[in-house]
Amino acid sequence: MRTYSLGILALGIVMGLAGCKKAPQSPKKSRDQTAAFTAGGRADDMRAAPQTGTAPATAAAACKKDAAMPGKGFSGKEYEVTVTAPIEADQGKPAQAVITVTPKGGYKINMKYDHELALKRMSTGVKPEHNTYTNKHAAQRDKAGLKFVVKYTGAAAGKKVLQGVLDFSVCTPKLCVNKDDLCVSWESTVK
């Protein structure tokens, strides 16, 4: 009887400890993990069409919570996200912003994950090359980093703001961290 009780106690401890870890490597996003920012706040569907003409006046005003923009990266102990974009762009000519995820602290980019950058809001007259960037669009996607190059063209002069939602995952051999709602935003003055 004593051996049986110790066995149940040990099983309970193991089960309790197992619940303390974050999710193991998850190659797919679950439907409830997807979220995006739109003109009315957060949307339930990352795949919603991007909105034009609804971008805030500045890149800083675009994001309500976790955000990365030029001059203000976003960092956790597991990763760092940076945004590089031109301050000025030529009217009718392509410009590009670069969004980079760099793992740190022993983490690596999760190669089994469906990484995504979905452009959600942009000023009127801005035409991106793609509205959604996935693994196949990544300029770099290896264990050392993830990079999306967003090409866009401004048809009219003026300040143009673009905003998107970045979804990525970094892992150690035992633990993964999924970030599925990081707002990235930048602005360029089209001349």
Which domains does the chain possess? Answer: 25-190 (2.60.40.10)
In the predicted model, what is the mean pLDDT of residues 20-40? 37
Q: Is the pLDDT of residue 20 over 60?
A: no
Q: What percent of the chain has pLDDT over 90?
A: 60
Cα separation of 22 and 129, whole Å?
A: 36
User: What pTM was computed for the model?
Assistant: 0.71
Residue 58's alpha-carbon distances to 12, 26, 84, in angstroms, are 53, 35, 16
The radius of gyration of the chain's CA atoms, rounded to the nearest angstrom, is 20
